[in-house]
Structures are given as structure tokens and as C-alpha cells.
Amino acid sequence: MAKSSVLGYPRIGANREWKKALEAFWAGKTEEAVFQEQLREIRLNHLRKQRDKGIDLIPVNDFSYYDHVLDTATMFGIVPQRFAYKGGVVPLSLYYGIARGTKEATASEMTKWFNTNYHYIVPELDGATPELTENKPLAAYREAKEAFGIEGKPVILGPLTFLKLSKGYKPAETDAWLDRLLPLYVQVLRELANEGVQWVQIDEPILVTKLAADDLKRLKTIYETFSAAVPELNVILQTYFESVENYSEIVSLPVKGIGLDFVHGSAGNLSAIKQFGFPADKVLGAGVIDGRGIWKASLREKLALLDQLAGIVSSDRLIVQSSCSLLHVPVTVEQETKLSAELRGALAFADEKLNEIALLAKAVNSGASAVALELDQSERDVQALKQSEERNRKDIQKAVTEIASKQPERHSPFAARQATQQAKWQLPLFPTTTIGSFPQSAEVRKARQLWRKGEWNEKQYADFIRDQIDLWIKLQEEIGIDVLVHGEFERTDMVEFFGEKLAGFAFTQNGWVQSYGSRCVKPPVIYGDVAFEQPMTVEETKYAQSKTDRPVKGMLTGPITIMNWSFVRDDIPREQIAYQLAYALRQEVEALENAGIGMIQVDEPAVREGLPLKENEQAGYLAWAVKAFRMTTCTVQDTTQIHTHMCYCEFHDMIDSIEEMDADVISIETSRSHGELIHSFEINTYKLGIGLGVYDIHSPRVPQVAEMTNMIDRALQVLDPKLFWINPDCGLKTRGQEETVASLRNMVEATKIARAKHS
């Protein structure tokens, strides 16, 4: 009999109970014992729900107090040296200090989890002496069994992936680090086996990327070691986000099961399994339900795929499961009562995916006739949205096709534009600016709530927003910022704001997902053809510019970021969605320019995260991503300065593409990665305007002038001073007013020091 399973369940709770508990604890409003009990109740509710939905193999240890990679590091006592860790169980204060920073020590680097919008805390191995501080998977297993009698499936991040995602060691030290970690992993697995655990899921998503021969040898060593140490334990080696590389080597490893993604890696994995077969002594975890998308599956299509697999793998060796953890989707559609019936009927969040998985497992075991009504309803729901007017706007499709057929180019090359812009703006050496947003205080959030509830009328809310703009224009002038921003007080989210004003978008009431830590986002849903309807940012930007003689940047979110930070339709290529967005945003850029705004920032922080994991697909993606950005910005005058911003991911392998975007100024995060990106510019020259973020806005600490001066000095060793800007590394929405003002004052002071050195 086939079994059902998921690879992980969302942590945040149906009403973001997890987020609220964390933030209350951080604020000192909740005692630690109370906090621990709150999180325990959330965990148990998740287990209960999966049990009641009929999931056979329920994951445990997928829950986290912040991040599962950080959990793995602290379980092994891997704590950055600057935190003066003395060994033993890592207390919550230290755990959260690593993630968020303290007054004494900076937080660890945070970066994207493969090609998703989830961020993990990067482990720092330098100087660490690993030890098993606590067996977290065992504690999670015991909790599930004691509470509900659930025979849980502990989830563990695999050693190869953990090492490849870590920093603070040289490539030549990889084997030495593996030698240190393997006994600790074995100890965890031995204790699980002694407890009577049946299945353990070891996640190795790194296997869908290209691995060197040495890494394949390490992989073999790892799993041969595990097999020899705990032969009685059923280990399922789990991959996701793409098809595996080196299929034959991976399926020959001495494990009891292999988990493959048959959604995002369907073509490659299906081809490999047909060509090479599947070992008769292993179970196949077939990830057929999309763990990253929100759309209902065509269950008849999924059942046909499972039938193909059943011709290779007998049903008693088949696990029907999600393609990856459900961490990446909202919890339930049940609360989405305001969506149209057509759209709501086509959605499946985490809880609905549990139903789909259980239903497919039942169909495999009992035949399609046993679930015929459900299969038919699934097909009707999928087709209803596909045939809707919103997905078939011929006017938009025709216009986008015509524009996309041409290569978008600015009127003049950068050097000519830069001279023209400097003549117009007369900016000082090392111009200072910020990324766009200023603190969204409780007062700002309350005002928006009053307006949305109808307790404030449009004029009351507009007057309030103008008061906030007045305040922060004055503060920026007093601090000494050169290029100002209006602060984005009218915006809830940098993607949601634009989606609310464009056709083709829908918005959920409670479709939250975790981005990093307690930071949750509610991605818009791009369900139809995207179209511009009316100016979206002109009113506030024009007002801000009227209050100062200094330039004020117009602020937009770029087409690739809107796409990558939304849940997008799956019936047309993502490239086509990007071009629709670019066409709509181009009209907004032109509206800003026509209103007299001469600097316009089109943020693209999410370009890198959309990069395909397969090397042979990356150049194609970058080509159309760059094209979409240029489609958005190419029609402006030479005197109009186009800015963009990118943050929190590895950029060293796409510097050329960033330059191809042809923005006049780009700002890039470097502070949390401690300036490592600067090394990229030591190897690759960059000829356009650039600002490397000089302090980390995600940490509550106020950075010292000396810290920023050191960052600036190193950057200026490899970048042209005449093209260098100074700015924070991201927007300041989540910070308080006092710390924001103090940090910016220090940034301006550091700028003055730099100007004195280079004048």
C-alpha cells in the first residue's frame, strides 16, 4: 500500500500565532516558560491537523523557533566566535542573538534558501568546536508520540547540504569538517534508532545542483557511514526544488528511500527514472503535489503521473508526498471568503494540499473510481479559471508581444547620461541616500487600519500620510541626506501595494508565508493578465518633491521582484508574466517623469532568487529578466536617473547581468555579508553608479561610524569614487525612528570622513 507524507508544514499558524509569540517574547512581554508552552501548542496543533487529514508519515522537527539551518548549527554547537559561546545547550537568548544580532555582536549573514523567498541564517564554522548539544529530532519525535501516539518522521538537514551552505572554512578543509560532523550526525541517528524511530527524512537539496566529483565521494562516505552505524533505521534521502544531478549515483546510495521532486524537477526526474529504473530495494518518495505553488492540482494528471511511476515502482514502495516542505505556502484557503468563487475554487494552500496528497494515495491504493467525484471536481475548478476573461485579455497580450519583440535601449550610453545627470543635479562626492522606506510606526499602521475599516475617509488618511512625509523630508534634510525619499508610508508591502493597483492581481485575507524569522509576507496572487490602470505613486512622490529643493526619488518595485514575490499563474511561462509587468510599470515610470520626478528607483531585490538551479537554464532566465527591467526603464530622458536595489543573496556570479540592466545607480547589500561582495568587484570591474550598503538594517543595533568607514574604505579600493554612493543596505520600514535617525547620522558622518580623504 502506498503511503502519504509531506516534507514539512508551515510554522506560522493559521493566524500567525507563531510570529506573534516570537515578537512578544523578544519585546519582553512573555516569560520564556510561557513562550515555550505557546510554541508547543502550535506544534501540537500542526501534528493533530496532519493526523486528522490522513497523512501517514508526519514530519517532526520541521518546526523551528526561527530557522531550520540555524537549528542544525546550534544543535551541533556551531556558534560564531564573537558571541563568546562556552559550550552546552544554546540558550534562546544566544539563539536569537545569532539570528538578530545583539548590542555587542552583529547577526550572522542571512541569505536565500536556494531559489525561494525563504531566508536562512548562514552557519559560521570558523573557530567552532562542534558537539551534540541536544538531540532536537529525538525531542520532536517523543513529543508527537507522547501527545498523539504519532509515529513521526524526524526531519534533519543533511551534512553535505549543511556544509555547502556554511561559511568560515576553506575548500581544502571540507573533509576535515565532515570528519567532525559525521560522528555527531551518527549520534543523533543512533539515539533515534534506539528510540524505535521507523523513518528519518534527511534533506539534501544540494543534490539538485551541480556537484564536483569530490562532493559525490563525500556523499557516498556520508551515507555509507550512516548505513553501517544504524542499518536498522529507514533513511529517506530527500531532494527538492529541481531534478537531481547524478541520478544513478544517488539512487545507488545505501538508504531505504529516495525523495524526488516531480513538480519543479518533473521532466528531469521522470526521464532519469525511465532511463535508469529505480532500485528494487528502495522506496520512492514521489513529490507530485506542488509545495511552492498555491494552485489546485489537476488530480487526474497527477494520478496519471503516479500510474507511470507505478509501472516502475510497486505501490507498496511508493510514498505520495509534496514536492518540498509546505513552508512556502499559506496555511489554509478556508479564511479566504472575499475572493471570487472562481479564483477561490482553484486555490490549494497547505491544508488543502494535505487533502490532495491523501486523496491521491487513496486513488493509488483503491483505484480512481474510489475518488471519482473528487477528481472530477478538481478538473472543473482548474478549467474554470483557465477559461476566465481575466486570463484571456487579447489587448494586453498583443501589446506585450509587440513591445517584447524589440530590444529595449536607453537613448544614450551610461557615460553620456552620467555627465548630463551630474550637470543637472550637482551632487557631491559620495552622494548619500536611503533605499526607500522609513519606519512604519504603530501610528502609521493604526492610521492605515482606520482607513481600511472606513473609520477614516480618504482626506483624513491622505492628510496623515502627508504629515509623515513632511516629518521625514525635514529629518532627512537635517541629517544631511543628499537624495531624499518620501518614505512609503502609504504602502503596506513593496509588492502588494502595486498589485492592488494593477489588473490581473488578487489578494488574500490571510495568505501569509514566512520570509525570515518572524517576518511574514502575504504575496499577491497573479491570476490573470497584468495591466496598468492609473498612476500609482505619482501623488505622494510629487508632494514630497514640492517640500524640498533636494531631489526626491520615485520608488517602484521592478517586474521581476513583483513576479518572484507573488504567487504566479502556472498556465503561461514566467517570462511572459515578467513582460506584462514590465509593460505596466513602464507606464508608471513615464507618469512619474511627466510629473517632474527626475530620479526613479525601480527595485529588483529578487532577481537573483529567481535564478534557476540548473546552470544550463540560468543564462536564459537572466536574459529575459534583464530585458524586463530595461523594458520598464528604457523610455526615459537621459537626464532622468534610474536607480535600482538588490539585497541578501549571492551576486558574484551575475555581476555582468547586473551591469546589463543599465541602471544609472545600483545599491547592493554588503553589510551582513561583511563586505564579501566587494571581492567580486576586485575581480570584475563595474562601470556604472553603485552604492554598497554600509550597515545592516535588519539588526536593531545602531552601527558605529568606524564600522561604516571601514566598509567604505575597502569598497573604494576597487570602485570609482566618482560613481560611488553611500546608503543603508535595505529599506528602513521595520526599524524605529530613534535608531533610524541615529544610524543615518552616523552614516552621514562616515561619508564626511570619506569625502575628506578623497577631496
CA–CA–CA angle 564, 699, 479 (5° rounding): 100
User: Does the annotation list 436 as a binding residue?
Assistant: yes
Q: For residue 544, is it within any domain?
A: yes
pLDDT at residue 23, rounded to an integer = 97
User: What is the bridge-based pairing of β-strands 513-516 and 519-521?
Assistant: antiparallel
For 130, which DSSP code? -
Distances (CA, A) of 283 to 41, 199, 313: 33, 11, 8
User: Does the annotation list 328 as a binding residue?
Assistant: no
User: Please, are residues 440 and 732 in contact by the beta-carbon 8 Å criterion?
Assistant: no
Average pLDDT for 711-733:
90
User: Does the annotation list 324 as a binding residue?
Assistant: no
Average pLDDT for 243-265:
97
User: Please, are residues 680 and 649 in contact by the beta-carbon 8 Å criterion?
Assistant: no
Please state, in angstroms and rounded to a whole number, the distance separating the CA atoms of residues 174 and 213. 13
Q: 358 pLDDT exceeds 90?
A: yes
Q: Return the closest-CA partner of residue 502 out of 557, 550, 458, 549.
A: 557
- Domain range holding 520? 394-440+481-758
Residues 6+ apart with CB under 8 A from 327: 8, 9, 10, 11, 62, 118, 291, 513, 514
Average pLDDT for 355-372:
95
User: Does the annotation list 296 as a binding residue?
Assistant: no
User: Please, are residues 641 and 663 in contact by the beta-carbon 8 Å criterion?
Assistant: no
The model's pLDDT over 293-348, given as tens digits with 9 standing for 90+, comes to 999 999 999 999 999 999 999 999 999 999 999 999 999 999 999 999 999 999 99
Question: Domain holding 568: CATH number?
Answer: 3.20.20.210
Please state, in angstroms and rounded to a whole number, the distance separating the CA atoms of residues 550 and 666. 20
User: Does the annotation list 437 as a binding residue?
Assistant: yes
Average pLDDT for 573-593:
98
Q: For residue 190, is it within any domain?
A: no
pLDDT at residue 651, rounded to an integer = 62
User: Please, are residues 445 and 489 in contact by the beta-carbon 8 Å criterion?
Assistant: no
User: Does the annotation list 295 as a binding residue?
Assistant: no
User: Does the annotation list 572 as a binding residue?
Assistant: no
pLDDT band at residue 606 under the 50/70/90 scheme: confident
User: Does the annotation list 647 as a binding residue?
Assistant: yes
Burial 328-356 (b: 16+ CB within 10 A, else e): bbbbbbeebeebeeebbbbbbbbbbbbeb
Give SS3 for 286: strand
Looking at 219-375, which runs of residues are DSSP E strands?
A: 234-238, 257-261, 283-289, 318-322
User: What is the bridge-based pairing of β-strands 234-238 and 119-121?
Assistant: unpaired
pLDDT at residue 730, rounded to an integer = 87
pLDDT at residue 492, rounded to an integer = 84
Distances (CA, A) of 85 to 66, 81, 543: 19, 7, 51
As beta bridge partners, residue 258 has 237, 284
pLDDT at residue 714, rounded to an integer = 86
Please state, in angstroms and rounded to a whole number, the distance separating the CA atoms of residues 547 and 574. 40
Q: How far is CA 686 from the centre of its chain?
A: 27
Ranking 124-138, 251-265, 644-658 by mean pLDDT, the lowest is 644-658
For 436, which DSSP code? S
Q: For residue 532, is it within any domain?
A: yes
Average pLDDT for 612-637:
95
User: Please, are residues 586 and 541 in contact by the beta-carbon 8 Å criterion?
Assistant: no
Give SS3 for 114: coil
pLDDT at residue 87, rounded to an integer = 94
- Total count of domains within the chain: 1
Q: For residue 528, is it within any domain?
A: yes
Distances (CA, A) of 332 to 118, 346, 463, 502, 580: 19, 13, 37, 25, 29
Distances (CA, A) of 35 to 25, 30, 74, 92, 666: 7, 6, 19, 11, 42
User: Please, are residues 485 and 438 in contact by the beta-carbon 8 Å criterion?
Assistant: yes
Q: For residue 677, is it within any domain?
A: yes
User: Does the annotation list 315 as a binding residue?
Assistant: no
Please state, in angstroms and rounded to a whole number, the distance separating the CA atoms of residues 313 and 329. 29
Please state, in angstroms and rounded to a whole number, the distance separating the CA atoms of residues 2 and 557. 45
Please state, in angstroms and rounded to a whole number, the distance separating the CA atoms of residues 177 and 482. 48
pLDDT at residue 41, rounded to an integer = 98
Q: Return the closest-CA partner of residue 557 out of 587, 518, 585, 520.
A: 585
The model's pLDDT over 371-414, given as tens digits with 9 standing for 90+, comes to 999 999 999 999 999 999 999 999 999 999 999 999 999 999 99
The model's pLDDT over 268-295, given as tens digits with 9 standing for 90+, comes to 999 999 999 999 999 999 999 999 999 9
Q: For residue 573, is it within any domain?
A: yes
User: Does the annotation list 645 as a binding residue?
Assistant: yes
Mean pLDDT of the chain: 94
CA–CA–CA angle 301, 363, 388 (5° rounding): 35
Percent of the chain with pLDDT over 70: 97
Please state, in angstroms and rounded to a whole number, the distance separating the CA atoms of residues 279 and 282. 6
Q: For residue 165, is it within any domain?
A: no
Q: 29 pLDDT exceeds 70?
A: yes
pLDDT band at residue 672 under the 50/70/90 scheme: low
698 in active site: yes
User: Does the annotation list 488 as a binding residue?
Assistant: yes
pLDDT band at residue 715 under the 50/70/90 scheme: confident
Q: Return the closest-CA partner of residue 72 out of 7, 36, 28, 121.
A: 121
Cell numbers 545627470: residue: 421
As beta bridge partners, residue 642 has 600
pLDDT at residue 605, rounded to an integer = 86
pLDDT band at residue 652 under the 50/70/90 scheme: low
pLDDT band at residue 613 under the 50/70/90 scheme: very high
The helices-and-strands tally (H runs, E runs) of the chain is 27, 21
pLDDT band at residue 678 under the 50/70/90 scheme: low
Please state, in angstroms and rounded to a whole number, the distance separating the CA atoms of residues 138 and 381. 41
pLDDT band at residue 266 under the 50/70/90 scheme: very high
The distance in angstroms from the start CA to the end CA of the chain is: 76
DSSP-H helix ranges across 279-332 = 299-310
User: Please, are residues 100 and 70 in contact by the beta-carbon 8 Å criterion?
Assistant: no
Q: 650 pLDDT exceeds 80?
A: no
Please state, in angstroms and rounded to a whole number, the distance separating the CA atoms of residues 444 and 491. 10
pLDDT at residue 677, rounded to an integer = 64
Q: 203 pLDDT exceeds 60?
A: yes
For 58, which DSSP code? -
Distances (CA, A) of 215 to 163, 164, 224, 244, 245: 11, 10, 14, 14, 12
Distances (CA, A) of 404 to 627, 629, 656: 8, 12, 22
Please state, in angstroms and rounded to a whole number, the distance separating the CA atoms of residues 623 and 407. 11
Convert 470-507 into a string of H (helix), E (strand) and C (coil).
HHHHHHHHHHCCCEECCECCCCCCCCHHHHCCEEEEEC
Q: For residue 179, is it within any domain?
A: no
Q: 643 pLDDT exceeds 70?
A: yes
The single residue of 46, 328, 643, 698 carrying the catalytic annotation is 698
Q: Return the closest-CA partner of residue 371 out of 314, 318, 299, 317.
A: 299
